[in-house]
Chain A
């Protein structure tokens, strides 16, 4: 059996490991645009800050690629010929496949305006990007935030308001830059948080000295040609939709890339997120998709999960099925714990569903939580700031515990919610 995997991120790597569990002899070829082996992509902010070195970033233990018998090709796949069951890489090489996994992630971040490819513009998608961000911030990696003195030379502008932009803003701030965050949407983390939670996050950023401007679209990036009080010695001038010019040392593009992949389109799949069923199968025989590139069709709805854990889980499910297994992915058990800027955030289950009841903490409190219920059971939760009891809430959703009468107590962090799980006999400290 010949397995081709497009992408060496968490979905692709875990799919490969799962395939090898079931098929000890099949040939597994992994293609990616990067020359690096599988690394902890979500740890790039910590790498940029110097908390881990390159060796610590590799996500497989030493020798694992060889032990699994994986062949890594540092070149991306660009086209799939379903009639011949052959895929073509960017160098023109052709590779036959019996099973193929599209796991190349969402499209790279982009702002789509003139000047985007200028030298002072940096992305934050890859290991090489992280090294560039560190270099652009200059000396002082790991130092606490300092003021850039208000000069354009000490300022980074970051485009975007999602998780990637917030991570980049956090890195830049910790590395001593003044940060201006230009958010196209009307609130931060609009795809993850409701308005009240976004306001808490906004307060946190501004308290940490980050300037945040909402509803700001970048219309152009110009190269700064002279230094001085209004322009950096070398860097960029960012033009926003309101006609204002913002000089900076560098512009970071932190917009979340759109789902979908030209590779999938080349196979005849529609534009946009690659739709798969719970077995992670596309509608094309032998072709699977997992991770940020796909959306899972479940119960008549097509749901995008996103995040490292979802990618790992989906990759594993896809790998098992590619090798003849029978595994399913349950998006209703979605769990995404992350850090937005430096605030812990947890999203569990159907956290943006309407439900038939919902409770929230006071919007001006130090932390935020929103719980969504349907037919007496918790179906979704959003925690921002204090994530105590996340494990209990997650299990309550998975076990569909009847929590009627406890709805308001569940908002509190000083009540032991473990009693909700009594029938299961479980106990969670955190």
Chain B
């Protein structure tokens, strides 16, 4: 079943065609990887889907609805969750509070919160504990997120995105710059999510990681989709090898 459909998406920055007539589909319950050299337009595609930047033309259809032109918060609430390439934690808040923010939007209601009708429920507390245990970071619960190391921040961002209600999880380079052990841990978490039926869209430079993980790989270069298919198919595609690996 198709969950997300990108149709003839275009985005220009001045004279640069960052995304050029890009079209692809994402199947429900699968891991789709977006790969390509630096400047290929992968992150731009992510930002277009999230509504952080608006497309010049084209459609992004999610559950029969065109989401182009919606604000990032509306798009998020339709069922998108993502992490960024750079850390986007709330540095002055505790790890725990970073996670509590992800559950729902009841906390944006002024009177409900002021009058104390929005308590942290047991379910939420247990979920936070469960997710922190998953990444072995329970003991950092009360630490300010800004004090964490790079790898720890990545983990917290990942579980924050998982807690945030979604039907598509978008991960922009989740293992870039992390240690091999941590990479192992993150791939385990992602595979577990896949087993649970999550739909994941992934940007990653690490070829081993990507080809092991993905059901489908989409290769971009200079804003254009130059190939798509199964990891085996991509591994042997000459065009891809030329563009991406420079062989």
A and B held together in a complex: no
**Chain A interface residues toward B at CB < 8 A:** none
**Chain B interface residues toward A at CB < 8 A:** none
